[in-house]
């Protein structure tokens, strides 16, 4: 007769295999939705389907945001019960036209010990009490950052990004965006729309 430990080992293996399969399916479904949404907004879109999925898109000329890349990474999610590994989206974007500017904001998670880089030197408040409560906002160019943060549409896009680890903009001749957030279609959509709104505001 086989020992109980053998059956527990088999059970554990099956649980791990199922978790991996579900995670791969969730990644595929999320990337399917993102790709479908971007299709008619892009001059060119490339999709890579493997264990590390990727989308590369050159957006249509009516967009201020010109190029985006979407990938995944495994990172820490801090919670009051502990710190766990989870899959996140990383979205990089570039727009033509910009100004000297930087801004970084993230969810105000008291359990997350990751800090924003020192080049984002000053705390900034948008003037929206709830938005300011739920987010940490820093900028090395606070006067310009306020122009963006005062825009309600931009703030609404940011509010609707789940598990926002960072929304970062660095600019000079062009604007470079980096967003890290939850593996979620609506979060990806809102992150891209927030980039686009920022690019339009910062160009004017």
pLDDT at 101: 87
Percent of the chain at pLDDT > 90 equals 63
Contact (CB, 8 A) for 187 and 196: no
Q: Please indicate whether residue 117 or residue 129 has the higher confidence score (pLDDT).
A: 129
pLDDT, mean of residues 154-178: 94
User: Would you say residue 15 has pLDDT above 70?
Assistant: no
Radius of gyration of the chain (CA): 19
pLDDT at 99: 78
Domain range list for the chain: 4-203
Cα 15 to chain centroid, rounded: 29
Q: Please indicate whether residue 97 or residue 189 has the higher confidence score (pLDDT).
A: 189
Q: What are phi and psi of 105, to 5 degrees?
A: -145, 155
Q: Please indicate whether residue 203 or residue 116 has the higher confidence score (pLDDT).
A: 203
- Assign 118 to helix, strand or coil: coil
Give dist(CA 168, CA 43) in Å, integer. Answer: 25
Give dist(CA 108, CA 19) in Å, integer. Answer: 29
pTM metric for this prediction: 0.85
pLDDT at 49: 80
Q: Please indicate whether residue 202 or residue 188 has the higher confidence score (pLDDT).
A: 188
């Amino acid at each position: 007769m086989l020992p109980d430990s053998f059956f527990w080992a088999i059970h554990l293996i099956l649980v791990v295999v199922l978790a991996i399969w579900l995670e791969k399916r969730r990644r595929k479904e999320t990337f399917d939705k993102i790709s479908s949404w971007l299709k008619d907004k892009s001059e060119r879109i490339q999709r890579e389907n493997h264990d590390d999925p990727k989308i590369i898109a050159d957006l249509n000329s009516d967009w201020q945001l010109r190029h985006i890349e979407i990938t995944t990474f495994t990172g820490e999610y801090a919670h009051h019960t502990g710190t766990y590994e989870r899959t996140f989206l990383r979205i990089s974007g570039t727009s033509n036209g910009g100004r000297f500017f930087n801004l970084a904001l993230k969810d105000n998670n008291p359990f997350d010990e990751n800090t924003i880089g020192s080049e984002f030197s000053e705390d900034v408040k948008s003037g929206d009490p709830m938005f300011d409560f739920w987010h940490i906002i820093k900028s090395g160019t606070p006067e310009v950052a306020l122009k963006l943060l005062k825009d309600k549409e931009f703030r609404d896009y940011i509010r609707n990004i789940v598990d926002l680890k960072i929304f970062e903009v660095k600019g000079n001749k062009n604007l470079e965006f980096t967003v890290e957030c939850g593996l979620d279609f609506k979060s990806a959509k809102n992150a891209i729309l927030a980039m686009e709104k920022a690019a339009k505001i910062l160009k004017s």
